[in-house]
Structure 1
Amino acid sequence: MLAFGPVPAGGSPIYPMPDPDPFFLPPPDLAARAPGEVLAVRPMPPIAIFPDAAVVLVKFRSTNSAGEPIAATTTVLRPANARPDGPLLSYQHIINGLGAKCAVSHVLYAPDPNLALRESLLLNTILARGWSVAMPDHLGPTFAYGAARLGGMITLDGIRAVQRVPELQVAASPVALLGYSGGGMATMWAAAMQRSYAPELRPIGAAAGGVPMNLVKMVEGLGYQRHPAFGLALAAAIGLEREYPAELPVSESMNASGLAIRDRIANSCTNDILLAGAGHNALDLAASTSLINDPAARKVVEDNSLELYDGIPSTPVYEWHAPQDTLVPLDSIATTLTRYCAAGVPVRSELYDSPDHMTAEMLGAPAAIAWLEGRFRGEPAPSNC
């Protein structure tokens, strides 16, 4: 993990700028609400890249990593051909961001040609099947990038909330989960936590690709070498500090260069984060590496590593990745899936010959959707355990 030693004071955690839209504010009685309880519903304008879908934003009560109540949001796309209690897919978007503008609820309305191409191809394929799609802002209100356990709880509470909105007509819908990379991490944490956190939910399948299943190994791999994606490791350190400020005081331990880059990306999304971190490593931004031996700091990263979490999904799992992927620790994927198989979970794992982490998403997504379609039809889940 990123490890920084003590340096000048003044490096308290930096949180994202508040969202200017009052819809995202928590209600004063938030603590009295139950996880998954609907706090507000807002019909949204149509989205050009999804011409046949109604859009609804749902605010709900969820829980952060300290067990405290938070207000979270999910955006629902309901296609015109959706039938009452038809399939509901919780799609965990890749959110490599630290600011409100990176949230799915905002990005869907941003003029981003890359999003338009990637998301229109994937999601319109799903919507054409008549599936309703819920897309949670799974990093939470402080954009705690890297806080994977948080993403699992928000995903599950988002499903609870969407099924409680009468006009969406999904109260008795079969539910599945899908995500890639950071979205896959939220997907798999939701699947692994469901038995204990939301036992009343009965997901029929979870499909996830390119999942970082061990943040300790991942951040160590990115942190101490000059990696093109080092910015993601830095963003994870910033995001985890937001969620665990006492246990992981990263900002207190940064040198002047580290704090400058941290401030630069505190509200940034993927491209700006990668640009700011390119050519750096952890040693460039730290006074020392003493925090690496701090038990509380290391526990934070371990507690957000799925490989080290003992929860077992109650639903079949489809997993895909590229064997050439240098971003995520592949041995952790194998270890985690082996443990699920040993516990009796039907697991289908597939490899895609991709030159990089992101290309594998689009190569594997069609088969993942086909696998989910089989689950919605009630077919037995295939397994290659």
Structure 2
Amino acid sequence: MHLAWARARGEVCSAAAARKVLVFGHSQGGHAALFAGELAASYAPELRLLGVAAGAPGPDVEHTLPFVTSASVFNGFNVAFVEGFHAAYPQFDPAAVLTPEARAQASIVDQKCLGGVAAALSSSPLVLAHNPLDIPALKAIVVANSYGNRPAGAPLLVVQGTADTGVPKFVTDAFVKKACAAGDTVDYVLVPGANHGGELPAVADGIAAWFADRVSGAAATNTCT
């Protein structure tokens, strides 16, 4: 959506400024923003991506799986993840990772939103018979669908609340560490005590200033060490 909107605007407005793009998103929107940055050069090469800001970005599947496979509270997420990948990649057989009991209930993902799926399955036994990352063919699909495995495409501003339980800090820490190791320019801002969504009011002016610096051409702060 980020890039499609920017591309459409560029087609309407011929000025060079219309092709300069700044991307922002929070939570799942932050997840999308990071992907937009990675895909911009190939998806919309006519655009000039200046910067990507992500607040508590929804964790990518690759880093999420290790801590959601061993607790029944995440059953709904796991079934939705497996069934979603099966819909996108029909060659992947859900029976390779789901228990028979979970397979029998899997149709619920076509009937309810994620919250309803989670509520219906949270008291069931664990739904994964095998860790998806232990299956090479599935791991390759997971990696391809996880952000942080390609160049960022532009300087990054990542904002994270230290008390966030929706997107835990350690998950965002792992992404930032990976991005820094890959040579991306990352300004990682922690907001002490902020929960999920609570970090944005505290840094709204800072995000606006960071975007203004990207437009002016100022060098981006890099907190990677």
TM tier, smaller? 0.7 to 0.9
Of 127, 130, 144, the match for 1:285: 127
Question: Is residue 296 from structure 1 mapped to residue 137 from structure 2 by the alignment?
Answer: yes
The reply to whether residue 232 of structure 1 matches residue 77 of structure 2 is yes
Equivalent residue runs for 1:25-174 within 5 Å: 136=1, 155-164=2-11, 166=12, 169=13, 172=16, 173=18, 174=20
Equivalent of residue 244 in structure 1, options 89, 100, 119: 89
**Among 40, 58, 67, which residue is 1:221 paired with?**
67
Q: Secondary structure at the match of 2:68?
A: helix
SS at match of 2:22: strand
SS of 2:3 mapped into structure 1? helix
CA-based RMSD: 3.1
**1:18-29 matched pairs, under 5 angstroms:** none
**Aligned counterpart, 1:28:** none
Q: Which string of whole-angstrom CA distances, capped at 9 and with x for unpartnered residues, describes residues 278-319 of structure 1?
A: 445xx5335x32755321112111222223x1x223422111
1:373 positional shift? 3.4
**2:152 aligns to what SS in structure 1?**
coil
Residue 210 of structure 2 is aligned to residue 371 of structure 1: yes
Residues 163/277 of structure 1: CA separation in 2 closer, same or farther (3 Å cut): farther
| Deviation for aligned residue 1:187 | 1.1
> Does structure 1 retain, via aligned residues, the 8 Å contact 2:75–2:127?
no
When normalised by structure 2's length, the TM-score is 0.77
- Alignment of 1:336 with 2:178, yes or no, is yes
> 1:320, CA displacement in angstroms?
1.0
Report the Cα distance in structure 2 between the residues aligned to 1:269 and 1:365, rounded to whole angstroms.
30
Point out where structure 2 has 5 or more consecutive residues left out of the alignment. Answer: none
Q: Which runs of 5+ in 1 are unaligned?
A: 1-135, 137-154
CA distance in 2, matches of 1:171, 1:352: 38
Q: Which amino acid in the other structure matches residue 41 of structure 2?
A: R
- In structure 2, do the counterparts of structure 1 residues 312 and 293 end up closer, same or farther at CA, with 3 Å as the change threshold? closer
1:223-280 Cα shifts (integer Å, max 9, x gaps):
21133x5533433332222212213x226745344542x3233254354344334445
Q: Which amino acid aligns with 2:116?
A: D
* SS of match in other structure, 1:176: strand
Please state which structure has a larger fraction of its residues in helix: 2
Q: Does the 8 A contact of 2:56 with 2:161 survive in 1?
A: yes
Question: Is 1:264 the equivalent of 2:103?
Answer: no
- When residues 321 and 291 of structure 1 are mapped into structure 2, their CA distance, relative to the original with a 3 A threshold, is closer
Equivalent residue for 1:306, pick from 143, 147, 153: 147
In structure 2, the CA distance between the partners of 1:338 and 1:291, relative to structure 1 (3 Å rule), is closer
AA at the equivalent of 1:215: V
1:23 maps to: none
Deviation, 1:188, is 0.9
1:323–1:179 CA distance, 2 compared to 1 (3 A): same
Q: Does 1:351 align with 2:190?
A: yes
* 1:171-199 deviation per Cα after TM superposition (whole angstroms, max 9, x unaligned): 64121101122221221122123334433
Kept after mapping to 2: 8 A contact 1:195/1:313: no
Cα distance in 2 for residues equivalent to 1:208 and 1:321: 9
Aligned-partner Cα distance in 2 for 1:256–1:180: 35
After TM superposition, give the deviation of residue 202 of structure 1 in Å. Answer: 0.8
Tell me the residue number matched to 1:382: 221
Number of residues of Structure 1 aligned to a counterpart in Structure 2: 218
